[in-house]
Amino acid sequence: MVDKPNLSPEIRRLLKVRRRQKARKPEFRRYESHKKLRLRRKSWRRPRGMDNKMRLRIAGKKPVMVGFASPAEVRGYHPSGYIEVLVHNPKELENVDAETQAIRIASCVGLKKRLMIEDKAKELGIKILNPSQR
Contacts of 16 (CB under 8 A, 6+ apart): none
Has residue 39 got a pLDDT over 50? Answer: yes
Length of the chain: 134
Domain boundaries in the chain?
9-68, 83-124
Q: How confident is the model at residue 2 (pLDDT cuts 50, 70, 90)?
A: very low
Using the predicted structure, report yes or no on whether residue 87 has a pLDDT greater than 70: yes
C-alpha to C-alpha distance for 128 and 32, rounded to whole angstroms: 37
Average pLDDT over residues 30-55: 88
What is the DSSP track for 5-17?
Answer: ----HHHHHHHHH
What span, in angstroms and rounded, lies between the C-alpha atoms of 63 and 109?
A: 37
**Cα–Cα distance, 101 to 70 (Å, whole number):** 19
% pLDDT > 90, the chain: 62
Catalogue the E-assigned strands of the chain: 83-87, 101-105
Nearest to 84 by CA among 110, 112, 116, 106: 106
What does the pLDDT read at residue 1?
45
